[in-house]
Structure 1
Amino acid sequence: MKTDNWGFYERLSETEQMRVLINIGYNGSAPLPNYTELLSITVNLYPVRESNRTNRQFVQQLEQLESKLEQWLKSTSGAIYIGRINASTRLEFYYYLEGGRLTDEQLHAWLGANWRFRAQAYRKEDAAWSFYFFLLPSAMEQLFVHNAQMIYALIHKGDNIGEPRNVYHWLLFREDGERSEMEELLEAHGYVIEREKEGKPETDYPYPLVISKFEDVRLDTINERVRDLYRLLDGRDGRYDGWGAAMRLSRTNRIRRYIRRRVEFAQSTLRKVFAGRS
């Protein structure tokens, strides 16, 4: 059937920036039989933000709604949660439903009892899951998904993502001439050509190029850099192949890592001592 595989990325429309969370795990199995109805629930963020003193409380209230709504819809109608769109003024949740298993009266009654702010619910037939496929990330947006996963992993390991460092990007080209022309263009845009660093050539793209910029690794920064490189590569026979950077731990996390390593070393030493006595 499918496995949960959530991806997060940013999409720029003509009028706004949207942050999209989507369960990519349904790609390959969608559309699912019988799940022919698309349900969207839209929350106006202004009154929610004004009713909370801190941004943390604001986020927690929305997370609680998301969790409770998903559990209720799944238990009462078997609804499938495919994702959400977060814009500056609204938050939209999207589900696919089996026809006839949920009435408007049930939905409005639940929202009235569990959400004190106004929420708009909209339903339409979408047996082909066209909206789901619209939400699936493009080739560039797939890189944004990967960026979010990498930066989340860095944060989890204690990285201070706001601290600048050399951020390296790998590009690949089919022709050496294209690579040479791109070097000049990249240098004009402030990139450093890392001639001492070797890229990994591929059969179809045998000419690698490694470049860098000194900056932080916040998600907005990395996504903007990827978007910039995609634009510069447009119309050229080249491909973007990812980025990387050394970790920069905060002082607190450096101390924690040092203490953890000392404890692990001490435990390892004790195990060896006791093993020798047995």
Structure 2
Amino acid sequence: MKKYFALLFGILLGSSSCQQKETKNVDVKKQAQIDANLGVINSLSNAGDKLTASREVFHWIYFKDEKQRNNYLTEVSKKGFELVSSDKINDEFPYQLQIKRIDKVDENSVNDYVIYLWEKAIEYNGDYDGWETSIEKT
């Protein structure tokens, strides 16, 4: 009985360790996305944007298959994101999706909607590739 308990405990401990590594990896990637957001926001600010005007913000996401791309689009459309284009390219993630929504571009707002899109991309086995917007100097 002890042998089985030790084996079961070892398996559980091993999977827990894998889950911790996976969670840490996701946290590192999430922080990298937040840092990338800040980079774009700083570029806008350095160009004279006051970051107060709402404007169209465009996002690119890539998927391994068309069904996952379509399901992702259905999901994020519920939050007001609109289709700009969906193409097939020659890549590991060939199903490209470009969406947009009118949003604020301050740090809190950007992190809120970008992390939502980023997490949904992971949920649908996609790869969130980034965002861009226009410079507004009003």
TM range (shorter): 0.7 to 0.9
Structure with the larger RCO, 1 or 2 (CA within 8 Å, 6+ apart): 2
Question: What are the equivalent positions in structure 2 for 1:176-255 lying under 5 Å apart?
Answer: 176-195=66-85, 201=89, 203-250=91-138
Give the alignment's Cα RMSD to 1 decimal. Answer: 2.0
The answer for unaligned runs of 5 or more in structure 2 is 1-23
Q: CA deviation at 1:246?
A: 0.9
SS at match of 2:30: helix
User: Do 1:140 and 1:227's aligned partners in 2 also have CA atoms closer than 8 Å?
Assistant: yes
Q: Which residue of 2 aligns with 1:159?
A: 49
Q: Distance in 2 between matches of 1:150 and 1:162?
A: 15
User: Do 1:172 and 1:201's aligned partners in 2 also have CA atoms closer than 8 Å?
Assistant: no
Q: Distance in 1 between matches of 2:47 and 2:41?
A: 10
Partner amino acid, structure 1, of 2:72 = M
Once the two structures are aligned, what percentage of the paired residues are identical? 23
Q: Of the two, which has the highest radius of gyration?
A: 1
Question: What are the equivalent positions in structure 2 for 1:1-278 lying under 5 Å apart?
Answer: 138-195=28-85, 201=89, 203-250=91-138
The answer for unaligned runs of 5 or more in structure 1 is 1-133, 251-278
Q: Distance in 1 between matches of 2:130 and 2:89?
A: 13
SS at match of 2:123: coil
Would you tell me which structure has more helix in proportion to its own residues?
Answer: 2
Change (3 A) 1:248 1:200: farther
**Cα deviation digits, residues 70-117 of structure 1 (max 9, x gap):** xxxxxxxxxxxxxxxxxxxxxxxxxxxxxxxxxxxxxxxxxxxxxxxx
SS at match of 2:77: helix
Q: CA deviation at 1:151?
A: 0.9
Aligned residues: 113
Q: Which residue of 1 aligns with 2:4?
A: none
Runs of 4+ with deviation above 6 angstroms? none
Q: Distance in 2 between matches of 1:201 and 1:138?
A: 28
Partner amino acid, structure 2, of 1:246 = S
Q: Distance in 1 between matches of 2:107 and 2:59?
A: 15
